[in-house]
């Protein structure tokens, strides 16, 4: 017979498997402990180097700056819109500067212009003087401008009044501007 065959074994197979499993569980526990320890140290170091209060403060400052920029943008947009609207109004408006300059050039030195208004091709004017002579000269000059028809048309005298307390004559007139 052979002496190499041993039917009774000193080794316990179930015990060896349990020891092997225990060894794997211990290694896994140690690795988990190392991962948790390094993650905790990393979080601690990050918390020390980047304080949360500073980040919150920076966030609030950024929000305030963004809101200020929003107000500036709204103001800028409104101003741009107004400029565009004014430009369109100015481009559609008729230019009466030459006619008004010619009319005001005919005003004698003793006469003062109290009111001058232009609406839809009509000019309304109110002048005053202490004497009727310069007012008469002004009326004659306006009639001459009306006869030419290039500066004024259809001149209508709306009224002539006397302010007794100030001793001034006031003439109100209206004319069409071609």
Mean pLDDT of 118-146: 88
> By CB neighbour count within 10 A (0-12 exposed, 13-18 middle, 19+ buried), where does 60 fall?
exposed
> How does residue 7 score in pLDDT terms, banded at 50, 70 and 90?
low
Give the domain extent around 141.
97-176
What pLDDT does 79 receive?
A: 94
Given a cut of 60, is residue 6 above it in pLDDT?
no
Cα distance between residue 106 and residue 145, in whole Å: 9
Q: Would residue 70 count as lying in a domain?
A: no
Q: Would residue 141 count as lying in a domain?
A: yes
26 and 18 in contact (C-beta within 8 Å)? Answer: no
Q: Would residue 37 count as lying in a domain?
A: no
Query: Where are the alpha helices (H) located in the chain, listed in sequence order?
Result: 13-49, 52-92, 97-105, 132-148
Summarised one tens digit per residue, pLDDT across range 102-126 is 888 888 888 999 999 988 888 899 9
Give the CATH number, domain containing residue 105.
Answer: 3.30.1360.100
Cα angle 116, 119, 124; round to 5: 35
Distance in angstroms between the alpha carbons of the first and the last residue of the chain: 144
Do the bridges between strand 122-129 and strand 153-163 make them parallel or antiparallel, or are there none, so unpaired?
unpaired
Domain count within the chain? 1
Q: Would residue 82 count as lying in a domain?
A: no
CA 172 to chain centre: 44
The sheet carrying 168-176 orders its strands as: 112-119, 122-129, 168-176, 153-163
Tokens of 33: 């402990």
Give the relative orientation of helices 97-105 and 132-148 as an angle to the nearest 10 degrees: 140
Tokens of 48: 């020390």
Q: Would residue 118 count as lying in a domain?
A: yes
Q: Would residue 6 count as lying in a domain?
A: no
- Residues β-bridged to residue 162: 169
Q: Would residue 110 count as lying in a domain?
A: yes
Q: Would residue 143 count as lying in a domain?
A: yes
Summarised one tens digit per residue, pLDDT across range 46-67 is 878 877 777 788 889 999 988 8
């Amino acid at each position: 017979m052979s002496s190499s065959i041993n039917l009774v074994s000193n080794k316990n197979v179930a015990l060896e498997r349990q020891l092997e499993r225990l060894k794997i569980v211990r290694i896994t526990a140690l690795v988990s402990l190392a991962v948790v320890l390094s993650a905790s140290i990393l979080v601690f170091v990050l918390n020390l180097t980047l304080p949360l209060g500073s980040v919150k403060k920076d966030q609030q400052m950024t929000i305030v700056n963004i809101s200020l920029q929003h107000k500036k943008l709204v103001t800028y947009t409104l101003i741009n819109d107004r400029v565009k609207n004014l430009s369109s109004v100015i481009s559609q408006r008729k230019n009466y500067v030459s006619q008004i300059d010619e009319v005001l050039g005919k005003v004698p030195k003793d006469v003062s212009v109290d009111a001058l208004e232009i609406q839809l091709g009509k000019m309304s004017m109110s002048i005053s003087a202490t004497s009727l002579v310069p007012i008469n000269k002004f009326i004659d000059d306006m009639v001459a401008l009306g006869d030419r028809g290039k500066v004024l048309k259809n001149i209508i005298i709306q009224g002539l009044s006397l302010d007794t307390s100030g001793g001034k004559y006031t003439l109100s007139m209206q004319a069409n501007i071609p």
